[in-house]
Amino acid sequence: MKFSLLHPRVQLVTIMERIYGYGMTTTSGGNLSILDENGDMWITPAGVDKGTLKPQDIICVKPDGTMMGPHKPSSEYPFHRAIYQKRPDFRAIVHAHPPALIAFSIARQIPNTRIIPQAHTVCGQVGYAPYRLPGSLELGAVIADTFAQGYDAVLLENHGVVAGGESLLAAFQRFETLDFCARTLIQARSVGEVHSLTDDEIALTRKHGEKLPTFKPTFHTSRERELRQHIIDLVHRAYDQQLMTSTAGTVSARVDENSFLITPYGLDRLYLDLDDIVLIRDGQRERRKQPSRATRMHMAIYQAHPEIGAIITAQSPNAVAYSVTRRKLDTRTIPESYIVLRDIPLMPYGVQFDDGKKIIKQLAKDKPVLLLENDAILTTGATLMQAFDRLEVAEFSAQAVIATAHIGELVPIGTEEVKELEAKFLS
């Protein structure tokens, strides 16, 4: 879907549906706006249920202040106007009250975006605006002044968060990624000390992802077509389950011994379509498409492990809580966890940027899942469904272990019980 071609009214409703649907605001909370090239501001209305918002509810505020629409604009209209005046590069603003970011707001702490490279790239440094009365000109002034310092996202003291961008999708992705950071950090603090990435470590990802030569496919087999649909279905499912964010998460599947399909770089995961998936054949990428930056790593895994038919890397918050604290995730919690995941090796930061050289040595029949420090969970399988199941089980297991810390000490399945599981299910 070409989101930018949608009318501003439709864009605003579509993004509000995502924010409300994923529990990042309430019926009465949050507001969005788009600034048109002609100076018109399209903004969500005051007093309208965010769960039933329709395009006809959106208000248009003309440059001269004339308002067109059936409702009053959001009470936070003043700070939207003030931000656009101070940041002419912004064309959209997102404001909402997701619980994890509210927690940071009322604790008066700024979420650390240096926990994974993608988060810092999307969000950058986050600003902080002191409390002022909602809907007041004073609130607009302090928020706009904070954005004027160069921040693209600002945490509001005892209030919420505001994110801006060159488009509504960019602003939303910044907002969503910051919420991911907050949720992950909250979970991570039950696990151990959070490790932040340095500038040099973050720079590694920018050097990664050298483009492959291209080719033009002359045919598409039935298997390839089937796998394209399966990848799309699982990516959308992973996004709905918050196992991926709009900007992070890669899925690939082997087509045959010389080719595989992989998700593209830089496209919103929720809006991926069949034609967006990239075919890689004999080390070349499908013409006019840019595959994931992890393509060379996936290619190396498929070449070294013919038994692997699918690979997923994802930033699910509970599993990544172990990644950013660099702690081993104990899978000996319930039989299913150990049977599906086995032991999960913790790989040092940077191995994902060496084209898979170290990763392929760790992967094995009894090690189908890896945890990459300050990055992601990597799962493999003979099929897409098996790799996806391992992602789900890893996230559920991590969530359960983190929750255990609030109840008592984790008592894992014993050594003898593990041997019985291995003998019955894994031999």
pLDDT at 209: 64
pLDDT at 207: 67
How sure is the predictor about 2, in pLDDT bands with cuts at 50, 70 and 90? confident
- What distance in Å separates the CA atoms of residue 223 and residue 230, rounded to the nearest whole number? 10
Strands 160-165 and 214-215: unpaired
Radius of gyration of the chain (CA): 23
**CATH numbers and ranges of domains, the chain:** 3-188 (3.40.225.10), 212-425 (3.40.225.10)
End-to-end CA gap in the chain: 46
Element (H, E) at 133: none
Average model confidence (pLDDT) across the chain: 95
Low-confidence winner among 232-241, 317-326, 410-419 (lowest mean pLDDT): 410-419
pLDDT at 205: 82
How sure is the predictor about 104, in pLDDT bands with cuts at 50, 70 and 90? very high
pLDDT at 253: 98
- What distance in Å separates the CA atoms of residue 242 and residue 223, rounded to the nearest whole number? 28
The closest of 164, 169, 133 to 151, measured between CA atoms, is 164
pLDDT at 280: 97
pLDDT tens digits for range 133-167: 998 899 999 999 999 999 999 999 999 999 999 99
Top-confidence range, 27-31, 374-378, 403-407: 374-378
Strand locations in 78-148, DSSP E? 92-96, 127-129
**Would you call 207 exposed, middle or buried from its count of C-beta atoms within 10 A (0-12, 13-18, 19+)?**
exposed
DSSP SS3 for 350: coil
pLDDT at 355: 82
pLDDT at 356: 87
Residue 1 has pLDDT above 80, yes or no: no
Q: What is the mean pLDDT of residues 100-123?
A: 96
How sure is the predictor about 402, in pLDDT bands with cuts at 50, 70 and 90? very high
Q: What is the mean pLDDT of residues 158-177?
A: 97
pLDDT tens digits for range 188-236: 999 999 999 999 999 988 766 668 999 999 989 999 999 999 999 999 9
Chain centre distance of CA 278: 20
Q: What is the mean pLDDT of residues 405-419?
A: 92
- What distance in Å separates the CA atoms of residue 105 and residue 113, rounded to the nearest whole number? 15
Q: What percent of the chain has pLDDT over 90?
A: 91
Q: What is the mean pLDDT of residues 334-351?
A: 95
DSSP SS3 for 343: coil
The closest of 46, 40, 43, 36 to 13, measured between CA atoms, is 43
- What distance in Å separates the CA atoms of residue 159 and residue 171, rounded to the nearest whole number? 18
Q: What is the mean pLDDT of residues 337-352?
A: 95
